[in-house]
Amino acid sequence: MLKTHGRYDHHPWRGRAGYVWPGGARLAVYLGVNLEHFAFGEGLGAELAPGGPAPDVLNFAWRDYGNRVGAWRLIETLDELALPATVLANSAMYDLAPALLAAHRDRGDETVGHGRTNSERQSVLPPAEERALIAEATAVMTRADGLAPRGWLSPWIAESHATPDLLAEAGYRYTLNWCSDDAPVWHRTTGQKLLAIPYPQEVNDIPAIAVRRDGAEQFARMIIDDFDERLRQTRDGLPQVMGIALHPYIVGQPYRMRALRRALAHVAANRENIWICTAGQVFDHVNGLPPGIVPGG
């Protein structure tokens, strides 16, 4: 017998109950904007080029560009296209760049827990230390934002066997860690159930650009093709969620921003046929559906 996670049961795509998003849409689209802070000279971090001995100034400065410049260029683009954002924030960002977090609050964007820093993985911690990490990040965000985050994305999407239970225990209602479906799925925990909302591992600038070395135009084309194909697929009557994962130190570079703006403009031009939303709005809608409509635990 294969070992299993036990969080949800298998539900094939065909044969599921159909439902619609607000306005009768079948496709929900949200933008996941990752605001991340990294330790200088130690810990984890994406690389533009192979780093040398610590301190790796080349890659640290490249990532810091996102918080100093790229994130602001991205906000300008979101404002221009009237697009909301789901902000996935390391709690360390609240000390590093409070004005940036305030700018997203002023836009009405949702903020999701994203650990303390992307220099660490929570999956390697004992349960007590992981519980403390979640509590510390949540407390920082709650004080600054005036309300507790309801969603969580682990740094590096790293989970221990206990992570979903610890998130539910801490009051979280949904997770972005699991990319096993095109629609939300309920997960079992030792406490209240947790909704897994799809977060992309393909339409995501880190694996696309930083890992596979796709170009700016290729990434923009990926967004457009993924969007157009999903819109076509929803003719089967089943709802989908499309996430677009963005990191300002990557897409905030000027030539990439130019290509990204074209892709997001394509999405925005179809707003009458889709639901442009935040991840939290997806949770609210799903949570209000009759029991048994959404598969899972």
- Residue 171 has which token pair? 């009051």
| Residue type (1 letter), 192 | Q
**Tens-digit pLDDT profile for residues 107-163:** 999 999 999 999 999 999 999 999 999 999 999 999 999 999 999 999 999 999 999
**Tens-digit pLDDT profile for residues 27-82:** 999 999 999 999 999 999 998 888 888 899 999 999 999 999 999 999 999 999 99
Task: Give yes or no for a contact between 153 and 199, defined as CB atoms under 8 angstroms apart.
Answer: yes
**Tens-digit pLDDT profile for residues 185-226:** 999 999 999 999 999 999 999 999 999 999 999 999 999 999
What ranges make up the beta strands (E) of 107-177? 110-113, 151-152, 174-175
pTM: 0.97
What DSSP element (H or E) covers 217?
helix 216-233
**Interatomic CA distance for residues 203 and 250, integer angstroms:** 13
CATH of domain 22-39+52-287: 3.20.20.370
Angle, CA of 59, 62 and 64, to the nearest 5°: 110
C-alpha distances (whole Å) from 156 to each of 123, 150, 278, 285, 288 are 9, 19, 21, 27, 30
**Interatomic CA distance for residues 253 and 172, integer angstroms:** 33
**pLDDT confidence of residue 297:** 65
User: Residue 207, class by beta-carbon neighbours within 10 Å (0-12 exposed, 13-18 middle, 19+ buried)?
Assistant: middle
